[in-house]
């Protein structure tokens, strides 16, 4: 189990979960690609499969390497994307006219904080947004979910936040600024090609993508001279 091999597999497939869901064949996962004949047992005691722990640690290493992109995109599950597929998701989801406008106030506040400083731990994010405590737990997770699914945030390593390390979260525009910039100029044919590769490998990802797009609502036609205003200060120039 090497980082280079994992990156190669993610690039080939376009996107993979890290771990399978109840050992089902779909969606495909990094585990199932690395160990196609092995069921995964989520056990961490002495009798457990040490490959699970190794893949967990590899997940953190991969999230920091910048050669692939780590997210909680598919139903909140740990997911890796190739860079070209992530750029296509930015075009279709993050750059959608309604992407930021339809976010809740809490989600907009989370993103605003992450655009100022990234990455941040769960503990730091909750403190900065005033969403600490059990009463705010649901609001916090709903806000994060909306940012994950629109590709506006990414995972980037871990932070020792207490008894168990927490995922460090960053704004996509800051952590993968080169992907963001490339996505602004990505040709429609390249977007279609990248997503076709992903959805051919992962039909269930297509269902999730369609659901997110539908939730964003119908898109207005744009002229070549128009750009997109996302949020208060961010203006996206039109793609050429």
Residue 230 has pLDDT above 70, yes or no: no
Residue 217 has pLDDT above 90, yes or no: no
Question: What's phi and psi for 238, nearest 5 deg?
Answer: -65, 145
* Residue 132: predicted pLDDT: 86
* 5-34 mean pLDDT: 96
Residue 61 has pLDDT above 90, yes or no: yes
Residue 64 has pLDDT above 90, yes or no: yes
* Residue 218: predicted pLDDT: 64
Q: Which domains does the chain have, with CATH numbers?
A: 3-236 (1.10.10.10)
Q: What is the pLDDT of residues 169-210, one digit of tens each?
A: 999 999 999 999 999 999 999 999 999 999 999 999 999 999
Burial label for 134, CB within 10 Å (0-12, 13-18, 19+), is exposed
- CA-nearest of 146, 145, 144 to 121 is 144
Ranking 4-18, 131-145, 200-214 by mean pLDDT, the lowest is 131-145
Rounded distance between C-alpha atoms, residue 3 and residue 8, angstroms:
9
Buried b (16+ CB within 10 A) or exposed e, 46-82: eeebebbeebeebbbebbeeeebbbbbbbeebbbbbb
216: its two tokens: 């964003």
Beta bridge partners of 69: 81
Q: What is the pLDDT of residues 71-93, one digit of tens each?
A: 999 999 999 999 999 999 999 99
How far the first Cα of the chain sits from its last, in Å, is 41
Cβ within 8 Å of residue 27, ≥6 positions away: 16, 17, 21, 74, 202, 204, 205
* Residue 219: predicted pLDDT: 52
Peptide bond before residue 119 is cis, with ω within 30 degrees of 0: yes
Rounded distance between C-alpha atoms, residue 40 and residue 49, angstroms:
8
89: its two tokens: 């998701």
What proportions of the chain, in percent to the nearest 5, are helix, strand and coil? 50, 15, 35
pLDDT band at 49 (very low <50, low <70, confident <90, very high): confident
The strands making up 15-17's β-sheet, listed across from edge to edge, are: 15-17, 77-82, 68-74, 153-159, 166-171
Residue 29 has pLDDT above 60, yes or no: yes
Mean pLDDT, all residues of the chain? 89
């Amino acid at each position: 189990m090497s980082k280079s091999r994992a990156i190669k597999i993610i690039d080939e497939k376009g996107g993979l979960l890290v771990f399978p869901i109840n050992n089902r064949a779909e969606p495909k996962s990094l585990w199932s690609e690395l160990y196609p004949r092995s069921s995964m047992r989520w056990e961490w005691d002495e009798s457990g499969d040490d490959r699970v722990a190794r893949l967990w640690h590899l997940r953190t290493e991969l999230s920091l390497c910048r050669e692939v992109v780590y997210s909680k995109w598919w139903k909140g599950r740990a997911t890796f994307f190739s860079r070209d597929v992530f750029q296509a998701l930015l075009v279709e989801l993050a750059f959608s006219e309604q992407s930021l406008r339809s976010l809740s106030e809490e989600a907009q506040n989370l993103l605003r904080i992450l655009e100022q400083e990234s990455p941040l731990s769960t503990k730091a994010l909750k403190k900065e947004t005033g969403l600490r405590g059990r009463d705010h737990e649901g609001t916090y997770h709903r806000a994060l979910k909306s940012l994950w699914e629109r590709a506006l945030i990414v995972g980037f390593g871990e932070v020792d936040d207490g008894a168990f390390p927490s995922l460090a979260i960053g704004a996509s525009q800051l952590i993968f600024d080169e992907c963001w910039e490339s996505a602004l100029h990505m040709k429609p044919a390249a977007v279609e090609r990248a997503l076709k590769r992903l959805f051919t490998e992962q039909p269930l990802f297509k269902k999730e993508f369609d659901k997110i797009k539908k939730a964003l609502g119908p898109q207005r036609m744009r002229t070549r001279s128009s750009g997109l205003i996302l949020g208060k200060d961010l203006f996206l120039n039109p793609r050429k």
